[in-house]
């Protein structure tokens, strides 16, 4: 069932668990994530970056594929199709394409401009029944060529954006996209605590879910995080399983080169990663 992410995240915040956003790259990813959510009776958010959208030929293709898969696979758990780190133009494209949720990432604009653009997009998204995420304090690491330095967001700026009527808020707390470097300082729970004190019921979003130790994830959920984004970890699992298959020479045996066989171990590995995360986040059985 394609829905906005508003209700599922409100419930998650109240119930002290988090819903995973798993980024999709192609049909295998989408199918694996949807199947796992259904098997575990968990709500799920499918994240699509602008780069991944382009790779899949455009947001219209993505929306059509996801909607059709939900129907053909009899997916009854709540599924949100969400633009990840959207630009202003990207948000409009996804609204038009039939997404059920968008993220406007205005974190690189001066706060006044971030407020102004977010405010406009809140109005448009809500009028069309979509949920909207906004961002304060850019998330570190590199994603689709956008490099952030892993800032800690200013709690007052978080409040200013939260007050615009957004549905959930991504705030930097020292998290970064991709693998964490060996000298990473960890999440700033002090910042998270201050942000939650200013933003109250607002579900908070933790980007860069790959590689954050389980105890930090649990503490972040205790402090108000209700959505956790995971991308790189599924890519790493997929790549490792595919490498193993090829290194074992299985693509050379029989019709092992058939894409349905060649991509199967990678898809199974994604399912395993998604399952582990849903169990850790506490969303199993919450659909």
> Binding residues for ligand 13P, per CB under 6 A?
23, 47, 84-85, 177-178, 207-210, 229-233
Nearest-5° Cα angle at 29, 23 to 34: 90
The catalytic position among 84, 105, 154, 167 is: 84
Burial annotation 35-68 (CB, 10 A radius, 16+ → b, else e): bbbbebebbbbbbbbbebbeebeebeebbebbee
CB of 167 to ligand 13P, least distance (A): 16
Of 127 and 182, nearer to ligand 13P (C-beta) is 182
CB of 57 to ligand 13P, least distance (A): 21
Of 127 and 214, nearer to ligand 13P (C-beta) is 214
Q: Cα dist. 110→27, 103, 116, 162, 177 in Å?
A: 37, 17, 10, 16, 22
Of 23 and 242, nearer to ligand 13P (C-beta) is 23
CB atoms within 10 A of CB 136: 27
Q: Cα separation of 37 and 45, whole Å?
A: 10
Of 178 and 256, nearer to ligand 13P (C-beta) is 178
Q: Cα dist. 187→139, 156, 175, 213, 215 in Å?
A: 12, 19, 6, 10, 11
Of 133 and 245, nearer to ligand 13P (C-beta) is 133
Q: Cα separation of 4 and 103, whole Å?
A: 12
The residue written with tokens 């694996």 in the block is 32
CB of 44 to ligand 13P, least distance (A): 14
Q: Are 91 and 83 in contact (CB under 8 A)?
A: yes
CB of 72 to ligand 13P, least distance (A): 27
Active site residue 84: yes
Residue 113: both structure tokens together? 């401009």
CB of 151 to ligand 13P, least distance (A): 14
Catalytic sites, residue numbers: 84
């Amino acid at each position: 069932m394609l829905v906005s992410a508003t209700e599922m995240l409100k419930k998650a915040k109240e119930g002290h668990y988090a819903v995973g956003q798993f980024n999709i790259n192609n049909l295998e990813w989408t199918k694996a994530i949807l199947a796992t959510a259904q098997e575990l009776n968990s709500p799920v958010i499918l994240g699509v970056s602008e780069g991944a959208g382009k790779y899949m030929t455009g947001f219209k293709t993505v929306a059509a594929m996801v909607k059709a898969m939900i129907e053909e696979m009899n997916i009854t758990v709540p599924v949100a199709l969400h633009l990840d780190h959207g630009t202003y133009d990207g948000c409009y494209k996804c609204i038009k394409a039939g997404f059920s949720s968008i993220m406007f990432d205005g974190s690189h604009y001066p706060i006044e401009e971030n407020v102004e653009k977010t405010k406009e997009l809140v109005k448009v998204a809500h009028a069309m029944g979509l949920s909207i995420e906004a961002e304060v304090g850019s998330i570190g690491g590199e994603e689709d060529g956008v490099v952030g330095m892993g800032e800690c967001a200013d709690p007052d700026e978080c409040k200013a954006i939260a007050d615009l009527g957004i549905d959930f808020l991504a705030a930097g707390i020292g998290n970064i996209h991709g693998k964490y470097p060996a000298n990473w300082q960890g999440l700033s729970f002090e910042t998270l605590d201050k942000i939650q004190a200013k933003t109250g019921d607002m579900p908070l979003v933790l980007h860069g879910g790959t590689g954050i130790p389980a105890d930090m994830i649990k503490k972040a959920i205790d402090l108000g995080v209700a959505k956790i984004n995971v991308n790189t970890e599924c890519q790493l699992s997929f790549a490792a399983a595919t490498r193993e298959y090829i290194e074992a020479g299985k693509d050379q045996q029989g019709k092992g080169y058939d894409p349905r066989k060649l991509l199967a171990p990678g898809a199974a590995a994604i399912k395993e990663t998604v399952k582990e995360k849903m169990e850790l986040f506490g969303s199993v059985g919450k659909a």
